[in-house]
Chain A
């Protein structure tokens, strides 16, 4: 093999026009045609789209630029470098929901599982019907989804990379007559390392770090890292720029910066986009309300057979059979340190459980939530999230956990660990009825999520939403949103492709305006 072929091409991507804000020696000022706040899926897509239109684009990212070659298999290193708050963010409520998002160039696309599913047609129909948003019907969105899939390089996982745990999940579901879908993921010739959540060192995941960000930079966009935007600047009733701080590696404030442009696009995620708007005293009634969270409940199956869950691709399949009812079930392995957090016990008890790591299958059910949450500014002026599960959400969690456990028993599990403090485990399929009969105690459920949305939602009516059908903030020319904040409701599937398709659509419409 030649020396050139020893590393995949993603290892030698050039990143021109990048300024490391942490190294700034003084306060800074920037000028552009378009400012994009955030470099995740929404931000990177918007930046590349406007750069393609010939606009001078400035991307402001709070995190650092970590190259593909620097990605590690060590969760602690990844949590420190790539995750906001080192992965310790929390959505308050009963129960509290652990939330993780990226804080690095490429945003959450660097640490997600790479799942790429179109917004379900029934959700788009709801957006066009109930929310009266034009041009969002499946036929209208077709070309945007097609373009998104091209950028994301969506493909199916090669069968030789499926791990034993994935095959067992498939077997278990099939025994119950539930045929899972092969996952559609944004990857190019994935070799099945399953390091997606810690950054892909093989370069296979086609995150924004290796796709839209370098493309935007090649087209002349500038990127400033370590740039924390605090608020939007206004003049004569329109947005004219942003201001904030250049921060150090530990996010300590170092210098101030101000950036000016006729168009500001916020793509800082469904927590920080409304946070910036709230600090900027933009106060539409719906701002920060209608937060949706896709709560996930984890289930762990213990098998006699050795599965080696660390060998094989990340989440090769998803069960979509119950999607219309609001449930998605999938299996994906996690490193020992991450699994350890969710296993009960301390000391010897915990050690005895963890000894079985190589015999465990981890799966989760995702709930298309109907409860609502809120993003508010805390005393520290940072956005804090709260969420209240609806009665339907709680029922769906119990039903989803029971179905996930049923798949595991059908696949041969001898024990299944549950996310309920008042029913931590069951030992046979005969005990599944105990889950259905379980007292509904939301505080006793352990939930996590990596998808939040809806906190600056699109609506035709300014009284009911924050942005209009083009993603522009109602009543404020020059200010737009391009992340999952603008979803009018929960999408029920991994949101990456929905974010990208809407960003492509809205960049086109805003560019014409």
Chain B
């Protein structure tokens, strides 16, 4: 059962889930089933955005959702969340390449989702990156180094 997001209304959440489904990294060892964790991280991040951005975020999501009749190539009379996966990806790639405000909007959504995705512990494991253990190890090592230097 998906956990409801607290920082977004149900409509915005549905669109964000559809966006993630369309643009999420796939293949190359990145098929972890971590959608709920990623959205939970985004949910925790949203209240810390500046107020104006926070207010505009749901508006931006609706532009993405209702944009296919205007911005999809070829134009499509459907909402983004109803498009087949390949068409949704192609449509969102169009936003990214458009630059300007459209590009900025997609960049913002992508940033929130991708930071949460690639910092997920399972993804970090698959990348063979273990910063956390290294932090614990080096903190102890530095304590020992300082103790040696003090002698």
Per the bound structure, the CA–CA distance linking A395 and B47 in Å amounts to 39
User: What's the minimum C-beta distance from B99 to chain A, rounded to whole angstroms?
Assistant: 6
Which B109-151 residues have C-beta < 8 A from chain A?
110-111, 114-119, 123-124, 127-129, 131-132, 134-135, 138-147, 149
Q: Does B29 touch A at the CB level, under 8 Å?
A: yes
Interface string of B10-44 (1 = CB under 8 A from A): 00000000000011111111100000000001001
Which A62-82 residues have C-beta < 8 A from chain B?
73-76, 79-80
Establish whether residues A357 and B127, one from each chain, have CB atoms under 8 Å apart when the complex forms: yes
Interface size class of B (residues with CB under 8 A): 35 or more
Residue of B47, B92, B100 ringed by the most chain A CB atoms within 10 A: B47
Q: Residue on B with the closest CB to A341?
A: B111
Given A96-B104, A202-B139, A335-B119, are A350 and B147 also a contact pair (CB < 8 Å)?
no
A8: contacting residue among B23, B26, B108, B146, CB under 8 A: B146
Per the bound structure, the CA–CA distance linking A340 and B124 in Å amounts to 12
Give the interface segment out of A186-194, A276-284, A451-459, A475-483.
A186-194
Given A202-B139, A337-B116, A341-B114, are A85 and B146 also a contact pair (CB < 8 Å)?
no
Majority DSSP secondary structure for residues of B touching A: helix
Q: Does A318 touch B at the CB level, under 8 Å?
A: no
Given A189-B145, A335-B131, are A347 and B99 also a contact pair (CB < 8 Å)?
no
B140: contacting residue among A6, A192, A348, CB under 8 A: A6
Q: Which B residues are CB-close (under 8 A) to A2? A: 147
Q: Does B3 touch A at the CB level, under 8 Å?
A: no
A73: contacting residue among B100, B118, B131, CB under 8 A: B131
Per the bound structure, the CA–CA distance linking A338 and B116 in Å amounts to 10
Per the bound structure, the CA–CA distance linking A435 and B45 in Å amounts to 37
Per the bound structure, the CA–CA distance linking A89 and B104 in Å amounts to 13
Interface string of B77-99 (1 = CB under 8 A from A): 00000000000010011001001
Q: Which B residues are CB-close (under 8 A) to A203? A: 139, 142
Establish whether residues B27 and A201, one from each chain, have CB atoms under 8 Å apart when the complex forms: no
Given A5-B143, A250-B48, are A348 and B27 also a contact pair (CB < 8 Å)?
yes
Q: Residue on A with the closest CB to B120?
A: A337
Q: Does B59 touch A at the CB level, under 8 Å?
A: no
Per the bound structure, the CA–CA distance linking A311 and B149 in Å amounts to 24
Establish whether residues A74 and B119, one from each chain, have CB atoms under 8 Å apart when the complex forms: yes
Residue of B22, B29, B146 ringed by the most chain A CB atoms within 10 A: B146
Given A191-B142, A444-B99, are A354 and B47 also a contact pair (CB < 8 Å)?
no
User: What's the minimum C-beta distance from A342 to chain B, rounded to whole angstroms?
Assistant: 10
Establish whether residues A204 and B142, one from each chain, have CB atoms under 8 Å apart when the complex forms: yes
Establish whether residues A350 and B139, one from each chain, have CB atoms under 8 Å apart when the complex forms: no
Q: Does B9 touch A at the CB level, under 8 Å?
A: no
Establish whether residues B135 and A336, one from each chain, have CB atoms under 8 Å apart when the complex forms: no
Residue of A1, A336, A358 ringed by the most chain B CB atoms within 10 A: A336
User: What's the minimum C-beta distance from A158 to chain B, rounded to whole angstroms?
Assistant: 9
A residues near B, CB below 8 A?
1-2, 5-9, 73-76, 79-80, 85-86, 88-89, 96, 188-193, 195, 201-204, 250-251, 310-311, 335-341, 346-348, 350-352, 354-355, 357-358, 378, 380, 382, 421, 443-444
| Chain A to chain B contacts (Cβ below 8 Å), 6 pairs | A76-B116, A202-B135, A251-B48, A340-B114, A341-B111, A358-B128
